[in-house]
A and B are shown apart, each in its own frame.
Chain A
Amino acid sequence: MAEPVLAIRNLVKRFGGVVATDELTLDVRCGELHALIGPNGAGKTTVIGQICGEIPPDSGSIAFAGADITRLSFAQRVKRGLSRTFQIVQLLDNDTALENIALAVQAAQGHSFRFWRNARLDRRITSPAHALLEQVGLPEDRGRVRASDLSHGERKQLELAIALAPNPRLLLLDEPMAGLGAAESLRMTEVLHGLKGRIPMLLVEHDMDAVFALADRVSVLVYGRCIASGLPGDIRADPAVREAYLTEEDGH
Chain B
Amino acid sequence: MRSKAILALLLAGAIALPWIAEALGTPATTGVATRIAIYAIAAASLNLILGYGGLVSLGHAAYFGLGGYTVGILWEHFRLNEPFLGIVPGTAELLITFPAALLVGGVSAAIIGALSLRTSGIQFIMITLAFAQMVFFLFVSLAVYGGDDGLSVRRPNEFFGLNLRDPATIYWLSLGMLVLWLWIMGRIVRSRFGRVLEGIRQNERRMAAIGVSTYTYKLAAFTIAGMACAGAGALWANYARFVSPDMMHWTKSGEFMIMVILGGIGTLLGPVLGAVALVSLEFTLSGITEHWKLILGPILIVIVLFARKGLMSLFGRSGSGNG
Contact = CB atoms under 8 A, between A and B. Distances in A.
A107 interface: yes
Contacts of A14: none
B203 A119 contact: no
B154 to A, nearest CB: 38
A120 B186 CA distance: 13
B203 A78 contact: no
A112 B210 contact: no
A78, A93, A106, A115 — most chain B CB neighbours (10 Å): A115
Interface stretch (A18-26, A31-39, A68-76, A243-251): A68-76
The secondary-structure label for the interface of chain B is helix
Interface in A59-106: 73-76, 78-79, 83-84, 86, 90-95, 99, 102-104, 106
A95 B322 CA distance: 9
Nearest to A86: B209
A194 B229 CA distance: 52
A235 interface: no
A124 B239 CA distance: 46
A97 to B, nearest CB: 13
A107 B187 contact: no
A21 B206 CA distance: 25
* Interface size, B (range): 20 to 34
A230 B191 CA distance: 49
Contacts of B192: 106, 112-115, 117, 119, 122
A228 interface: no
Contacts of A76: 213
Contacts of B211: 75, 78-79, 107-108, 166
B203 A113 contact: no
A116 B190 CA distance: 8
A155 B198 CA distance: 19
B188 interface: yes
Given A74-B209, A75-B211, A91 B191 contact: no
Contacts of B190: 118-120
A78, A92, A165 — most chain B CB neighbours (10 Å): A92
A162 B210 CA distance: 8
B212 interface: yes
Interface in B157-201: 187-188, 190-196, 198-199
26 contacts: A75-B211, A75-B213, A76-B213, A79-B211, A90-B206, A90-B209, A91-B203, A92-B199, A92-B203, A93-B203, A94-B202, A95-B202, A103-B210, A104-B210, A106-B196, A108-B210, A112-B212, A113-B193, A115-B191, A115-B193, A119-B190, A119-B195, A120-B195, A122-B192, A162-B206, A166-B211
Interface of B: 187-188, 190-196, 198-199, 202-203, 205-214, 217, 220, 322
Interface of A: 52, 54, 73-76, 78-79, 83-84, 86, 90-95, 99, 102-104, 106-108, 112-120, 122, 162-163, 165-166
Given A92-B203, A103-B195, A113-B192, 11 more contacts: A52-B209, A76-B213, A79-B211, A92-B202, A94-B202, A104-B210, A106-B192, A107-B207, A113-B220, A115-B191, A163-B209
